[in-house]
Amino acid sequence: MVFSLKNGLGLVFFLLFMGIINVMKVSREDSVKLKRVALEWSLAVLISALVLWGAFDLEGQFQIINRIEWIISPALNLQWGPGVFALDGASLFFFVLTALLIPICILISWKSIRHLFKEFLLCLLFLEALLVGVFLVLDLLLFYILFEGILIPMFLLIGVWGSREEKVRASYYFFFYTFAGSVFMLLGIFQVYSITGTTDYQILLNIKLPVTTQKWVLAGFFLSLAVKIPQIPFHIWLPQAHVEAPVSGSVILAGILLKLGGYGFVRFSWPILPAASEYFAPLVVMLGVVAIVYGGLLTCRQVDFKRLIAYSSVAHMGLVPLSLFTHTIEGLVGAVFMMLAHGFVSSALFIAITYLYERHHTRLIKYYRGVTLTMPLFVCIMMVLSLTNMGIPLSCNFVGEFFSLLAAVKYNFGLGVLATSGVVWSAAYSLYLYNRISFGAASNYLLFIRDLNRCELWALSPLVVAIFLFGIFPFIIIDPVKNGVFFSPGGA
Protein backbone atom coordinates (compact mmCIF):
# COMPACT_ATOMS: atom_id res chain seq x y z
CA MET A 1 0.00 0.00 0.00
CA VAL A 2 1.50 3.35 -1.06
CA PHE A 3 1.42 6.11 1.54
CA SER A 4 -0.66 9.03 0.27
CA LEU A 5 1.00 12.43 0.29
CA LYS A 6 -2.40 14.08 0.47
CA ASN A 7 -3.43 12.14 3.54
CA GLY A 8 0.10 12.49 4.94
CA LEU A 9 0.14 16.26 4.97
CA GLY A 10 -3.39 16.34 6.36
CA LEU A 11 -2.07 14.10 9.13
CA VAL A 12 0.83 16.50 9.80
CA PHE A 13 -1.49 19.47 10.29
CA PHE A 14 -3.83 17.33 12.37
CA LEU A 15 -0.95 16.27 14.64
CA LEU A 16 0.19 19.87 15.03
CA PHE A 17 -3.34 20.95 15.92
CA MET A 18 -3.81 18.08 18.37
CA GLY A 19 -0.43 18.79 19.96
CA ILE A 20 -1.44 22.39 20.66
CA ILE A 21 -4.84 21.29 22.04
CA ASN A 22 -3.33 18.62 24.30
CA VAL A 23 -0.70 20.99 25.72
CA MET A 24 -3.45 23.51 26.43
CA LYS A 25 -5.41 20.86 28.37
CA VAL A 26 -2.51 20.02 30.73
CA SER A 27 -2.29 21.95 33.98
CA ARG A 28 0.59 24.41 34.14
CA GLU A 29 1.57 23.02 37.56
CA ASP A 30 2.29 19.59 36.06
CA SER A 31 5.52 20.56 34.29
CA VAL A 32 6.67 16.96 33.74
CA LYS A 33 3.49 16.04 31.87
CA LEU A 34 3.64 19.28 29.87
CA LYS A 35 7.12 18.45 28.65
CA ARG A 36 6.23 14.85 27.88
CA VAL A 37 3.05 15.71 25.96
CA ALA A 38 4.74 18.41 23.87
CA LEU A 39 7.72 16.17 23.08
CA GLU A 40 5.51 13.21 22.12
CA TRP A 41 3.39 15.23 19.69
CA SER A 42 6.41 16.94 18.15
CA LEU A 43 8.04 13.53 17.65
CA ALA A 44 4.84 12.31 16.03
CA VAL A 45 5.08 15.21 13.56
CA LEU A 46 8.74 14.31 12.89
CA ILE A 47 7.85 10.67 12.21
CA SER A 48 5.07 11.68 9.81
CA ALA A 49 7.48 14.06 8.04
CA LEU A 50 9.99 11.24 7.60
CA VAL A 51 7.25 8.97 6.22
CA LEU A 52 6.30 11.71 3.75
CA TRP A 53 9.93 11.95 2.73
CA GLY A 54 9.99 8.21 2.11
CA ALA A 55 6.84 8.45 -0.03
CA PHE A 56 8.14 11.41 -2.04
CA ASP A 57 8.52 10.80 -5.78
CA LEU A 58 12.06 11.90 -6.63
CA GLU A 59 11.20 12.21 -10.31
CA GLY A 60 8.22 14.46 -9.72
CA GLN A 61 8.00 18.20 -9.29
CA PHE A 62 5.06 19.58 -7.34
CA GLN A 63 3.22 16.81 -5.57
CA ILE A 64 -0.12 18.39 -4.75
CA ILE A 65 -1.23 17.84 -1.21
CA ASN A 66 -4.46 19.73 -0.71
CA ARG A 67 -6.92 21.93 -2.55
CA ILE A 68 -8.30 25.04 -0.89
CA GLU A 69 -10.55 27.55 -2.57
CA TRP A 70 -11.26 30.50 -0.31
CA ILE A 71 -13.02 33.46 -1.92
CA ILE A 72 -12.28 36.53 0.20
CA SER A 73 -14.66 38.74 -1.71
CA PRO A 74 -16.95 37.94 -4.64
CA ALA A 75 -16.29 41.44 -5.98
CA LEU A 76 -12.54 40.80 -6.06
CA ASN A 77 -12.94 37.17 -7.12
CA LEU A 78 -9.76 36.40 -5.19
CA GLN A 79 -9.43 32.70 -4.43
CA TRP A 80 -6.69 30.51 -3.08
CA GLY A 81 -6.34 27.28 -5.00
CA PRO A 82 -6.21 24.85 -6.49
CA GLY A 83 -3.23 23.10 -4.97
CA VAL A 84 -2.34 25.51 -2.19
CA PHE A 85 -0.08 23.10 -0.31
CA ALA A 86 2.51 20.96 -2.07
CA LEU A 87 5.94 19.38 -1.75
CA ASP A 88 8.82 19.64 -4.17
CA GLY A 89 12.58 19.19 -4.06
CA ALA A 90 13.34 22.25 -1.92
CA SER A 91 10.33 22.47 0.39
CA LEU A 92 10.65 18.79 1.32
CA PHE A 93 13.96 19.22 3.15
CA PHE A 94 13.05 22.46 4.91
CA PHE A 95 9.84 20.80 6.06
CA VAL A 96 11.81 17.86 7.50
CA LEU A 97 14.37 20.25 9.04
CA THR A 98 11.57 22.11 10.84
CA ALA A 99 10.06 18.87 12.13
CA LEU A 100 13.51 17.77 13.40
CA LEU A 101 14.49 20.97 15.22
CA ILE A 102 11.28 21.52 17.21
CA PRO A 103 11.58 18.35 19.39
CA ILE A 104 15.27 19.20 19.84
CA CYS A 105 14.24 22.66 21.08
CA ILE A 106 11.91 21.04 23.61
CA LEU A 107 14.71 18.75 24.81
CA ILE A 108 17.26 21.52 25.28
CA SER A 109 14.69 23.65 27.13
CA TRP A 110 13.80 20.82 29.52
CA LYS A 111 15.44 22.53 32.52
CA SER A 112 16.51 25.94 31.27
CA ILE A 113 12.98 27.46 30.98
CA ARG A 114 11.72 28.01 34.52
CA HIS A 115 8.69 30.29 34.08
CA LEU A 116 5.59 30.22 31.86
CA PHE A 117 6.69 26.86 30.50
CA LYS A 118 3.23 25.97 29.17
CA GLU A 119 3.09 29.18 27.14
CA PHE A 120 6.63 28.52 25.92
CA LEU A 121 5.66 25.09 24.56
CA LEU A 122 2.56 26.51 22.90
CA CYS A 123 4.73 29.13 21.20
CA LEU A 124 7.03 26.42 19.85
CA LEU A 125 4.19 24.27 18.50
CA PHE A 126 2.35 27.25 17.01
CA LEU A 127 5.59 28.38 15.40
CA GLU A 128 6.10 24.91 13.94
CA ALA A 129 2.64 24.99 12.37
CA LEU A 130 3.35 28.36 10.75
CA LEU A 131 6.76 27.25 9.47
CA VAL A 132 5.34 24.07 7.94
CA GLY A 133 2.71 26.19 6.22
CA VAL A 134 5.31 28.64 4.85
CA PHE A 135 7.40 25.89 3.29
CA LEU A 136 4.43 24.11 1.70
CA VAL A 137 2.14 26.92 0.55
CA LEU A 138 1.80 27.73 -3.16
CA ASP A 139 0.10 31.09 -2.97
CA LEU A 140 1.91 34.42 -2.70
CA LEU A 141 -0.62 36.08 -0.41
CA LEU A 142 -0.92 33.13 1.94
CA PHE A 143 2.87 32.84 1.96
CA TYR A 144 3.06 36.46 3.08
CA ILE A 145 0.46 35.95 5.83
CA LEU A 146 2.27 32.91 7.24
CA PHE A 147 5.65 34.60 6.76
CA GLU A 148 4.48 37.55 8.89
CA GLY A 149 2.66 35.34 11.40
CA ILE A 150 5.99 33.80 12.41
CA LEU A 151 7.00 37.17 13.88
CA ILE A 152 4.52 36.87 16.76
CA PRO A 153 5.75 33.65 18.46
CA MET A 154 9.40 34.56 17.77
CA PHE A 155 8.87 38.02 19.28
CA LEU A 156 7.51 36.35 22.41
CA LEU A 157 10.29 33.73 22.55
CA ILE A 158 12.98 36.42 22.54
CA GLY A 159 11.20 39.07 24.62
CA VAL A 160 9.66 36.83 27.32
CA TRP A 161 12.09 33.92 27.64
CA GLY A 162 15.33 35.68 26.68
CA SER A 163 18.26 35.31 29.02
CA ARG A 164 19.55 38.84 29.56
CA GLU A 165 18.43 42.38 30.31
CA GLU A 166 18.27 43.62 26.72
CA LYS A 167 15.95 40.85 25.53
CA VAL A 168 12.99 43.19 24.98
CA ARG A 169 15.11 45.52 22.87
CA ALA A 170 16.39 42.56 20.84
CA SER A 171 12.84 41.30 20.25
CA TYR A 172 11.80 44.72 18.96
CA TYR A 173 14.87 44.83 16.70
CA PHE A 174 13.85 41.49 15.23
CA PHE A 175 10.19 42.46 14.84
CA PHE A 176 10.59 45.88 13.26
CA TYR A 177 13.45 45.01 10.92
CA THR A 178 11.53 42.01 9.57
CA PHE A 179 8.14 43.71 9.50
CA ALA A 180 9.43 46.85 7.78
CA GLY A 181 11.08 44.79 5.06
CA SER A 182 7.99 42.64 4.56
CA VAL A 183 5.84 45.65 3.66
CA PHE A 184 7.70 45.86 0.35
CA MET A 185 6.92 42.20 -0.34
CA LEU A 186 3.22 42.92 0.19
CA LEU A 187 3.38 45.80 -2.28
CA GLY A 188 5.01 43.47 -4.81
CA ILE A 189 2.25 40.90 -4.32
CA PHE A 190 -0.38 43.60 -4.88
CA GLN A 191 1.37 44.57 -8.11
CA VAL A 192 1.42 40.98 -9.34
CA TYR A 193 -2.28 40.53 -8.55
CA SER A 194 -3.24 43.81 -10.23
CA ILE A 195 -1.68 42.57 -13.49
CA THR A 196 -2.47 38.85 -13.47
CA GLY A 197 -5.62 38.68 -11.33
CA THR A 198 -4.21 35.80 -9.29
CA THR A 199 -1.68 35.02 -6.57
CA ASP A 200 -1.62 31.29 -7.32
CA TYR A 201 1.99 30.24 -7.72
CA GLN A 202 1.34 27.50 -10.27
CA ILE A 203 -0.55 29.88 -12.54
CA LEU A 204 2.16 32.54 -12.20
CA LEU A 205 4.78 30.01 -13.32
CA ASN A 206 3.21 30.10 -16.78
CA ILE A 207 2.71 33.87 -17.01
CA LYS A 208 5.44 36.13 -18.34
CA LEU A 209 5.22 39.41 -16.43
CA PRO A 210 6.40 42.68 -18.01
CA VAL A 211 10.11 43.26 -17.39
CA THR A 212 9.57 46.58 -15.61
CA THR A 213 7.01 44.97 -13.30
CA GLN A 214 9.39 42.11 -12.58
CA LYS A 215 12.09 44.56 -11.51
CA TRP A 216 9.84 46.41 -9.07
CA VAL A 217 8.39 43.21 -7.66
CA LEU A 218 11.79 41.59 -7.18
CA ALA A 219 13.10 44.75 -5.50
CA GLY A 220 10.24 44.50 -2.99
CA PHE A 221 10.81 40.79 -2.42
CA PHE A 222 14.56 41.34 -2.06
CA LEU A 223 14.14 43.96 0.69
CA SER A 224 11.94 41.56 2.62
CA LEU A 225 13.89 38.34 2.10
CA ALA A 226 17.35 39.93 2.49
CA VAL A 227 16.46 40.93 6.07
CA LYS A 228 15.65 37.31 6.88
CA ILE A 229 18.87 35.81 5.43
CA PRO A 230 20.27 38.31 6.76
CA GLN A 231 22.07 40.03 3.90
CA ILE A 232 24.50 42.85 4.66
CA PRO A 233 23.56 45.70 5.33
CA PHE A 234 20.29 44.31 6.79
CA HIS A 235 22.01 42.11 9.37
CA ILE A 236 22.08 44.44 12.40
CA TRP A 237 19.21 42.74 14.22
CA LEU A 238 20.66 39.21 14.08
CA PRO A 239 23.57 39.24 16.61
CA GLN A 240 21.46 41.06 19.20
CA ALA A 241 18.57 38.63 18.77
CA HIS A 242 20.85 35.58 19.02
CA VAL A 243 22.63 36.83 22.15
CA GLU A 244 19.43 37.66 24.01
CA ALA A 245 17.27 34.73 22.85
CA PRO A 246 16.98 31.49 24.84
CA VAL A 247 18.84 28.56 23.35
CA SER A 248 15.72 27.26 21.61
CA GLY A 249 15.16 30.71 20.11
CA SER A 250 18.72 30.75 18.77
CA VAL A 251 18.28 27.27 17.30
CA ILE A 252 15.06 28.25 15.52
CA LEU A 253 16.58 31.52 14.31
CA ALA A 254 19.74 29.90 12.95
CA GLY A 255 18.23 26.59 11.90
CA ILE A 256 14.97 27.65 10.25
CA LEU A 257 14.12 31.36 10.19
CA LEU A 258 17.29 32.45 8.37
CA LYS A 259 16.37 29.91 5.69
CA LEU A 260 13.07 31.67 4.92
CA GLY A 261 14.94 34.36 2.98
CA GLY A 262 16.91 31.88 0.89
CA TYR A 263 13.84 29.70 0.38
CA GLY A 264 11.89 32.73 -0.80
CA PHE A 265 14.58 33.48 -3.40
CA VAL A 266 14.58 29.85 -4.55
CA ARG A 267 10.82 29.82 -4.85
CA PHE A 268 10.11 33.24 -6.37
CA SER A 269 13.13 34.95 -7.94
CA TRP A 270 14.04 32.89 -11.02
CA PRO A 271 10.79 30.90 -11.51
CA ILE A 272 8.39 33.86 -11.80
CA LEU A 273 10.75 36.87 -12.08
CA PRO A 274 13.52 35.63 -14.43
CA ALA A 275 14.25 38.90 -16.26
CA ALA A 276 14.53 40.85 -13.02
CA SER A 277 16.69 38.14 -11.48
CA GLU A 278 19.09 38.41 -14.41
CA TYR A 279 19.07 42.21 -14.15
CA PHE A 280 19.82 42.35 -10.40
CA ALA A 281 22.21 39.36 -10.39
CA PRO A 282 25.47 41.42 -10.38
CA LEU A 283 24.29 43.50 -7.40
CA VAL A 284 23.11 40.50 -5.39
CA VAL A 285 26.26 38.51 -6.15
CA MET A 286 28.42 41.46 -5.07
CA LEU A 287 26.46 41.82 -1.82
CA GLY A 288 26.96 38.10 -1.21
CA VAL A 289 30.73 38.45 -1.61
CA VAL A 290 30.72 41.44 0.77
CA ALA A 291 28.75 39.40 3.32
CA ILE A 292 31.26 36.54 3.12
CA VAL A 293 34.38 38.69 3.49
CA TYR A 294 33.07 41.39 5.83
CA GLY A 295 31.05 38.88 7.87
CA GLY A 296 34.11 36.65 8.25
CA LEU A 297 36.27 39.56 9.43
CA LEU A 298 33.58 40.68 11.88
CA THR A 299 33.35 37.16 13.25
CA CYS A 300 37.10 36.97 13.86
CA ARG A 301 37.00 39.94 16.25
CA GLN A 302 34.17 38.72 18.51
CA VAL A 303 34.88 38.04 22.20
CA ASP A 304 31.45 36.57 23.09
CA PHE A 305 31.13 33.01 21.75
CA LYS A 306 27.39 33.28 21.10
CA ARG A 307 27.89 36.51 19.19
CA LEU A 308 30.76 34.86 17.29
CA ILE A 309 28.49 32.09 16.03
CA ALA A 310 25.78 34.65 15.20
CA TYR A 311 28.17 36.64 13.01
CA SER A 312 29.41 33.44 11.39
CA SER A 313 25.83 32.94 10.22
CA VAL A 314 26.05 36.23 8.32
CA ALA A 315 29.21 35.03 6.59
CA HIS A 316 27.96 31.55 5.75
CA MET A 317 24.52 32.66 4.58
CA GLY A 318 26.18 35.16 2.23
CA LEU A 319 26.90 32.16 0.01
CA VAL A 320 23.18 31.53 -0.51
CA PRO A 321 22.16 34.60 -2.60
CA LEU A 322 25.60 34.58 -4.22
CA SER A 323 25.17 31.06 -5.59
CA LEU A 324 21.44 31.37 -6.33
CA PHE A 325 21.80 34.45 -8.51
CA THR A 326 24.45 32.83 -10.69
CA HIS A 327 21.41 31.02 -12.18
CA THR A 328 23.15 27.68 -12.59
CA ILE A 329 22.16 24.23 -11.40
CA GLU A 330 25.37 24.16 -9.32
CA GLY A 331 24.33 27.39 -7.65
CA LEU A 332 20.86 26.08 -6.89
CA VAL A 333 22.14 22.83 -5.37
CA GLY A 334 24.84 24.72 -3.46
CA ALA A 335 22.36 27.21 -2.01
CA VAL A 336 19.92 24.53 -0.81
CA PHE A 337 22.78 22.42 0.56
CA MET A 338 24.32 25.44 2.29
CA MET A 339 21.06 26.37 3.98
CA LEU A 340 20.49 22.83 5.25
CA ALA A 341 24.10 22.45 6.36
CA HIS A 342 23.99 25.75 8.21
CA GLY A 343 20.73 24.67 9.84
CA PHE A 344 22.40 21.56 11.25
CA VAL A 345 25.83 22.94 12.19
CA SER A 346 24.87 26.35 13.50
CA SER A 347 22.03 24.90 15.58
CA ALA A 348 24.37 22.30 17.08
CA LEU A 349 26.99 24.96 17.87
CA PHE A 350 24.42 27.13 19.67
CA ILE A 351 23.28 24.13 21.69
CA ALA A 352 26.86 23.13 22.59
CA ILE A 353 27.98 26.56 23.76
CA THR A 354 24.76 26.98 25.74
CA TYR A 355 25.64 23.80 27.64
CA LEU A 356 28.97 25.44 28.44
CA TYR A 357 27.28 28.69 29.48
CA GLU A 358 24.84 26.88 31.79
CA ARG A 359 27.80 25.40 33.68
CA HIS A 360 30.02 28.49 33.95
CA HIS A 361 27.62 31.44 33.43
CA THR A 362 29.81 33.50 31.14
CA ARG A 363 29.98 33.85 27.37
CA LEU A 364 33.32 35.67 27.24
CA ILE A 365 35.91 33.50 25.53
CA LYS A 366 38.79 34.90 27.61
CA TYR A 367 37.56 33.14 30.75
CA TYR A 368 37.73 29.68 29.16
CA ARG A 369 40.75 27.42 29.02
CA GLY A 370 41.51 23.73 29.51
CA VAL A 371 37.96 22.41 29.24
CA THR A 372 39.40 19.16 27.84
CA LEU A 373 40.51 18.19 31.34
CA THR A 374 36.99 18.26 32.78
CA MET A 375 34.62 17.83 29.80
CA PRO A 376 36.28 15.47 27.28
CA LEU A 377 33.00 14.36 25.69
CA PHE A 378 31.94 17.97 25.11
CA VAL A 379 35.33 18.79 23.60
CA CYS A 380 35.08 15.86 21.16
CA ILE A 381 31.69 17.00 19.92
CA MET A 382 32.88 20.61 19.76
CA MET A 383 35.84 19.50 17.65
CA VAL A 384 33.53 17.75 15.16
CA LEU A 385 31.26 20.81 14.95
CA SER A 386 34.19 23.21 14.54
CA LEU A 387 35.65 21.13 11.71
CA THR A 388 32.32 20.86 9.94
CA ASN A 389 31.81 24.61 10.35
CA MET A 390 35.04 25.01 8.37
CA GLY A 391 33.66 22.74 5.64
CA ILE A 392 35.84 19.65 5.94
CA PRO A 393 35.25 16.87 3.37
CA LEU A 394 32.54 14.30 4.16
CA SER A 395 30.43 16.99 5.86
CA CYS A 396 27.38 18.58 4.26
CA ASN A 397 29.05 22.00 4.66
CA PHE A 398 31.79 20.88 2.27
CA VAL A 399 29.27 19.88 -0.40
CA GLY A 400 27.35 23.14 -0.03
CA GLU A 401 30.46 25.32 -0.14
CA PHE A 402 31.93 23.36 -3.04
CA PHE A 403 28.89 23.82 -5.28
CA SER A 404 28.38 27.45 -4.20
CA LEU A 405 31.99 28.45 -4.85
CA LEU A 406 32.02 26.50 -8.13
CA ALA A 407 28.98 28.51 -9.27
CA ALA A 408 30.67 31.76 -8.14
CA VAL A 409 33.89 31.01 -10.05
CA LYS A 410 31.91 30.12 -13.19
CA TYR A 411 29.99 33.40 -12.89
CA ASN A 412 33.05 35.61 -12.32
CA PHE A 413 36.53 34.34 -11.49
CA GLY A 414 37.57 37.38 -9.44
CA LEU A 415 34.42 37.35 -7.31
CA GLY A 416 34.81 33.60 -6.93
CA VAL A 417 38.31 34.05 -5.52
CA LEU A 418 37.06 36.64 -3.03
CA ALA A 419 34.21 34.36 -1.99
CA THR A 420 36.66 31.50 -1.50
CA SER A 421 38.48 33.61 1.11
CA GLY A 422 35.49 32.91 3.35
CA VAL A 423 36.87 29.40 3.84
CA VAL A 424 40.00 30.94 5.37
CA TRP A 425 38.03 33.19 7.71
CA SER A 426 35.79 30.34 8.85
CA ALA A 427 38.86 28.25 9.64
CA ALA A 428 40.38 31.17 11.57
CA TYR A 429 37.48 31.87 13.91
CA SER A 430 36.44 28.21 14.29
CA LEU A 431 39.94 27.08 15.27
CA TYR A 432 40.41 30.09 17.54
CA LEU A 433 37.20 29.38 19.43
CA TYR A 434 37.87 25.66 19.76
CA ASN A 435 41.54 26.06 20.74
CA ARG A 436 40.86 28.84 23.26
CA ILE A 437 38.12 26.88 25.03
CA SER A 438 39.58 23.39 24.94
CA PHE A 439 43.34 23.51 25.49
CA GLY A 440 45.89 24.97 27.85
CA ALA A 441 46.08 24.92 31.64
CA ALA A 442 42.74 24.77 33.42
CA SER A 443 41.22 28.20 33.99
CA ASN A 444 40.78 29.40 37.56
CA TYR A 445 37.33 30.72 36.62
CA LEU A 446 35.91 27.29 35.68
CA LEU A 447 34.76 25.38 38.73
CA PHE A 448 31.94 23.19 37.35
CA ILE A 449 33.30 19.89 36.06
CA ARG A 450 30.26 17.85 34.94
CA ASP A 451 30.43 16.60 31.37
CA LEU A 452 27.46 16.22 29.02
CA ASN A 453 24.62 14.00 30.23
CA ARG A 454 22.44 11.65 28.18
CA CYS A 455 19.67 14.18 27.54
CA GLU A 456 22.20 16.69 26.21
CA LEU A 457 23.77 14.04 23.98
CA TRP A 458 20.36 13.03 22.62
CA ALA A 459 19.72 16.63 21.60
CA LEU A 460 23.03 16.92 19.68
CA SER A 461 23.24 13.44 18.16
CA PRO A 462 20.61 13.80 15.38
CA LEU A 463 22.28 16.97 14.12
CA VAL A 464 25.76 15.41 14.06
CA VAL A 465 24.41 12.34 12.25
CA ALA A 466 22.62 14.52 9.68
CA ILE A 467 25.78 16.55 9.02
CA PHE A 468 27.71 13.48 7.89
CA LEU A 469 24.79 11.56 6.39
CA PHE A 470 24.17 14.28 3.79
CA GLY A 471 27.90 14.90 3.38
CA ILE A 472 28.67 11.26 2.55
CA PHE A 473 25.48 10.70 0.53
CA PRO A 474 24.80 14.10 -1.07
CA PHE A 475 22.60 12.59 -3.79
CA ILE A 476 19.84 12.31 -1.14
CA ILE A 477 19.41 16.07 -1.51
CA ILE A 478 20.79 16.68 -5.01
CA ASP A 479 18.37 14.41 -6.88
CA PRO A 480 15.11 15.94 -5.55
CA VAL A 481 16.46 19.50 -5.81
CA LYS A 482 17.52 19.30 -9.44
CA ASN A 483 14.06 17.98 -10.37
CA GLY A 484 12.20 20.72 -8.51
CA VAL A 485 10.22 23.59 -10.02
CA PHE A 486 12.80 26.38 -10.11
CA PHE A 487 12.93 27.48 -13.73
CA SER A 488 9.82 29.10 -15.14
CA PRO A 489 8.52 27.74 -18.41
CA GLY A 490 6.83 31.04 -19.04
CA GLY A 491 9.78 33.21 -18.17
CA ALA A 492 12.63 31.30 -19.76
439-489 confidence digits (pLDDT tens): 877 777 777 678 888 888 888 999 999 999 999 999 888 888 887 655 443
Q: What is the pLDDT of residue 489?
A: 39
In a domain, 415, yes or no: yes
* Cβ contacts of 114 within 8 Å, gap of 6 or more: none
In a domain, 460, yes or no: yes
Q: What is the pLDDT of residue 80?
A: 47
How many structural domains are present in the chain?
1
Quote the crossing angle between the two packed helices 258-272 and 329-360, to the nearest 10°: 170
State percent of the chain over pLDDT 90: 21
Q: What average pLDDT does the segment 26-50 reach?
A: 88
Q: What is the pLDDT of residue 464?
A: 93
In a domain, 492, yes or no: no
In a domain, 491, yes or no: no
In a domain, 1, yes or no: no
In a domain, 3, yes or no: no
By residue range, what is the domain housing residue 361? Answer: 8-484
Inform me whether the pLDDT recorded for 61 exceeds 80: no
In a domain, 66, yes or no: yes
Q: What is the pLDDT of residue 465?
A: 93
Q: What is the pLDDT of residue 398?
A: 92
Inform me whether the pLDDT recorded for 101 exceeds 90: yes
In a domain, 489, yes or no: no
Helix/strand/coil (H/E/C) assignment for every residue in the chain = CCCCHHHHHHHHHHHHHHHHHHHHHCCCCCHHHHHHHHHHHHHHHHHHHHHHHHHCCCCCCCEEEECCCCCCCCCCCCCCCCCCEEECCCHHHHHHHHHHHHHHHHHHCCCCCCCCHHHHHHHHHHHHHHHHHHHHECEHHHHHHHHHHCHHHHHHHHHHHCCCCCHHHHHHHHHHHHHHHHHHHHHHHHHHHHHHCCCEHHHHCCCCCCHHHHHHHHHHHHHHHHHHCCCCCCCCHHHHHHHHCCHHHHHHHHHHHHHHHHHHHHHHHHHHCHHHHHHHHHHHHHHHHHHHHHHHHHHHCCCEHHHHHHHHHHHHHCHHHHHHCCCCHHHHHHHHHHHHHHHHHHHHHHHHHHHHHHHHCCCEHHHCCCHHHCCHHHHHHHHHHHHHHCCCCCCHHHHHHHHHHHHHHHHCHHHHHHHHHHHHHHHHHHHHHHHHHHCCCCCCCCCCCCCCCHHHHHHHHHHHHHHHHHHHCCHHHHHHHHCCCCCCCCCC
- pTM for the complete prediction? 0.90
Q: What average pLDDT does the segment 311-330 reach?
A: 88
